[in-house]
Amino acid sequence: MAACSFRRSIASQLSKVLDLPPENLIKSISAVPVSKKRHVADFQLSIASVTEGNSSDCLAQDLNLQAQKLAERLKCDAVVSEISAGPGTVNFTINRELLARTVLQQVLKDGSEYGVKSELFSTVPRQKAVIEFSSPNIAKKFHIGHLRSTIVGNFIANLKVALGHEVIRINYLGDWGMQFGLLAVGFQRFGNKDKLKSSPLQHLFEVYVQINKAAEDENTKKLAKDFFRKLEEHDEQPLSLWKQFRDFSIEEYIRIYKRLGVHFDEYSGESFYQEKSQEVLKMLEDKGLLQKTVKGTGIVDLSEKKDLSSFSTVMRSDGTSLYITRQVSPDLAAAIDRMNKHSWDTMIYVTDKSQSNHFQHLFQILKLMGYDWAERCQHVSFGLVQGMKTRRGEVIFLEDVLNEVRSRMLQNMASAKTTKEIEDPMETAEKVGLAALIIQDFRGLLSSDYQFSWDRALQSHGDTGVFLQYTHARLHSLEQMHGNEQLTDVNVACLQEPSAISVLQHLLRYDEVLYRSSQDLQPKHIVSYLLTLGHLAAVAHKTLPVKGSSPELAQARLRLFQAARSVLANGMKLLGITPVTQM
């Protein structure tokens, strides 16, 4: 990684002066974010992070003084061409020719691995991660929360895979419970075998809505209860109908996820853990953790003083689970089963923040049961999205969202004057539209709620996914027009203009941004990095013409744009976006 060699070079000089080992210094030296207002140095060392003792005791002026003294003791060399003191920092400017040569060589050489090979990750052990995400309920709405869970989970999985971890992607379906008794009764009344095959999600949803109108009717209730009881007893006929509901639904989910660019290694669900849930309840009982309330409900006391100030309900009074909320006992069984099956290092659940309590309880109970690995479970929660509607009204199916974003994007592309004839407008519109959805979703902290707006998401200028796709397509066509032959020994030392330097400086920071996202699993760091890269590339594109420049200059500029496009594409793919080449 280009940044690594520069950081190391700065660290080795600092280590002699400060008498500290260079590896202790490397994390304190960071690439400086590009500023529109002024020329900035390339790297800075924060004085507070290397001074002995508690930095909060140090007054700002002491730190500034220390920075000045340290800067005076350091010398420029073949790598560093300028050293200056800033507020509590020492700033380093890299030799400009070396900067251009090193960064562009590295981006070209590492390709899709640029940034992930950085030594920032050298201390991070390669791990096996299980990620559970998406997890819709069969025959119910695929609401916007499921969409968020799908794209967030996919991002975390992509990032982990890129960093060399092994990832198992699990979709944990709501595929069990009393509602299947009701659904089966509904299907016997209103169902249609052909519709079940051709559009299972929609058909089962419609049947479920219809039968729900009669759900209070005693006869319907009795039939539903009977069906579900037979299902629990593994009676062949009900089981085969339930299996059809599940299998056809999964087939259609797979097809729709494919449009999103998402896949799963395992489709699991509550149905897998019926017997095992009973075993878990028995284990809780054997360990003396299961208590019965007066009403006969099974609970686990989670309070420190054992005064039931905090507890979790694991079983209803009739010994069954009413599937109103997400159930604790199947989740306990699933966690234990996944540990036995995959022996993972970390397990991540991606759901909305209303389930935070549930997962807190889940992890606490696992710990009480003696499973120390509960500490390696993590709930990545996200906020709620308000106001996402399609032209037909409320979002019921994921496919509605995908069709809507595609048709709106097609319309925008048709009315834009810049749109050239493209080979597959439908597919391009879908990819650009998805980029718009993902960037709008990932711009803030995942935990924050936001108001969805089609108009804002699909704008072609500003900080949007459409802008990123447009920039990528433009840079791609620039390469097609001028640079199809493999550029070999290009002299990039001539890239000295401020707009070229800004792009190079920004490319230097990519590994730090990846590192931040890998630490807190927030995509926003990568999103804002890519948006800035897009804007810097757009400025460079305006001010550094390839056409009409001398061959040497044209080749050097092409190399710069090629590097910007390559990193842009890498980052977009991590976020779950497929970069388009024409638009």
Tokens in use for 341?
Answer: 């099956």
Catalytic: 143? yes
| Among 27, 128, 140, 342, the one annotated catalytic | 140
Closest by CA position to 531, among listed 412, 439, 454, 434: 439
Residues 6+ apart with CB under 8 A from 280: 329, 332, 333, 336
Catalytic: 140? yes
- Letter string b/e over residues 27-46, b meaning 16 or more CB atoms within 10 A of that residue's CB: ebbbbbebeeeeebbbbbbb
CA–CA separation, 265 and 275 (whole Å): 23
Handedness of CA 178, 179, 185, 191 (dihedral sign): negative
Contact 333, 362 (CB under 8 A): no
CA–CA separation, 277 and 269 (whole Å): 12
Residues 6+ apart with CB under 8 A from 255: none
Kind and range of the H or E element at 290?
A: strand 290-292
User: Taking each helix axis from N to C terminus, what angle separates 2-18 and 60-73, rounded to the nearest 10 degrees?
Assistant: 100
**CA separation (Å) from 160 to 71, 124, 148, 530, 568?**
38, 11, 18, 19, 18
Question: 């993590």: which residue's tokens?
Answer: 378
- Between strands 298-301 and 290-292, the pairing is antiparallel
Kind and range of the H or E element at 413?
A: helix 398-415
Contact 74, 89 (CB under 8 A): no
Catalytic: 361? no
CA–CA separation, 245 and 180 (whole Å): 9
List active site positions. 140, 143, 146
